Structure formats: structure tokens, C-alpha cells
Amino acid sequence: MLWVVLIAIILAVLLLKWALFSPISQVFGAFPYRVKTDQKLVALTFDDGPNEPYTSQLLDVLKREQVPATFFVVGQNLKKFQAVVKRAAAEGHTIANHSMSHEFSNYWKSLGFASEITQTQQLITQTTGQTPALFRPPWLFHTPWLLRSLKQQQLSPVSGTFVKDWQTAQPPANSLADKAYRRVKPGTILIFHDGYNAQSAARGETVEAIRTLIPRLKADGYTFVTADKLLNTKAYQTN
């Protein structure tokens, strides 16, 4: 009987991990990862920035291709590179909240993650003049307490489809672009990274992947929209 109990415990742990971390888990509440639509719409999103010079390089590519994107910024990185976030907002990209420190241990200091959320909201508002209405939790860790905290702060959670470019030693750009291309279907929200937690990291492969991915998807008839447009929700709160 002991082995039955052990198996049951292991399965329960795996199920709980899936419920808390999976991009598609809706166990504890709405956590939109894509939109069901017949329209060929796709949203490019970037986490963990700003991180120079790579965020600016991404903005250059997006500007040339006339593609809007959504940047989920980390507060500690925003403090270092306010000008690039101002540029992103001015060029029509959506600026969203991705916590202050991207530190996992802070989930346990406050189950609702409230301070991490509030501090970043204030920084983004001071930088862009607009208060975000979108939040993506680090590691997509979405507990009932976090989702309740987001509701209290008038924020909508956003998930998506990982391209897995977050490593410090990134895969080659062609591999990232191919992987993203295969995962796109109408209504997809792609998750790329222009930073690494609250630290600097080389993101040249991501920049090159985006440079080649956009024309491929355009050739297939895809239109790029921000995450808020795809989800039919607001990008910013009314101040």
C-alpha cells in the first residue's frame, strides 16, 4: 500500500505544479494564453526588459516592420533604462507589468505579490504617464492569492506560448524563429525575452529571430497586434 500512497503524492505534486505554472492552466481563475479566432492575428510579447542594447534593437526591427508589441517590464530594469521604455510607449507599443524584482522568493513574503506589483505600477506610470492594466507573473506562477491581488489592482493577467529563449546561453536565432513559427496559430500570444529576470543578458539571438520571424508570418497572412488588442481588453487604466 505504501507505493500506492507514494504514487498518489507524486501525482498530486505534479498536478499542483501544472496548475500553478502551466501557461494554459485555468484552475485558479482566468489566465488567457491565446484567443480562439479565425482571423490570422498574433501578439508578440517580450518579458524581463528593458535590457540594453537589445530592447532598442528590437524596437528598431519593430519600427521598420511597423509591428506593435507588448513589453512586460521588470521594475528594477526600468530604473536603469527609462528612456527606452518611453520610446517604446511613444512608438505605440503596450507597456505592461512583470513585477519589480522578478525574484521568486518574494512570492512567499507576500502571497498576493502586492508590493512587487504596486511598485512597478508606480514606476511605469511615472515613466510613461500611463498605468498598466496588464500583468504577467514571473515564471507564469499564478496562485489564487496573486489573481485576487491583480483584481484588486485592476490588472488582467496574461499568459502565452513560450519560445524558450530565456537562457543565458541562447539557442541560435534560426532555431528560435523556427520554433516560434511552428507554434503560431490564429490568436497566439508568443512569449520572448529581451532581458533575464532583473539582470542583463545577451539577447542578440532573440533580436535576430524576430527579424526573420516577422516577414515569415506576414507572408502567411498574419497581422500583428498588441496583447490587449488580441484579448479585447484595455492596455491602461484610467488615471
SS3 180: helix
Strand partners, 192: 46
Residue 187 — φ and ψ, nearest 5°? 95, 10
How far separated are the first and last CA of the chain, in Å rounded?
60
Q: State the DSSP H helix or E strand holding residue 164, giving kind and residue range, or none if neither.
A: none
CA distance 38 to 151: 30
- 231 half-sphere exposure, CB direction, 13 A CA radius: 25
- 211 half-sphere exposure, CB direction, 13 A CA radius: 15
Q: How many CB atoms lie within 10 A of CB 17?
A: 11
Active-site residue list: 47, 193
CA distance 192 to 207: 10
For residue 119, give the C-alpha cell.
Answer: 511598485
Which sign, positive or negative, has the C-alpha torsion 197, 202, 207, 210?
negative
For residue 28, give the C-alpha cell.
Answer: 485558479
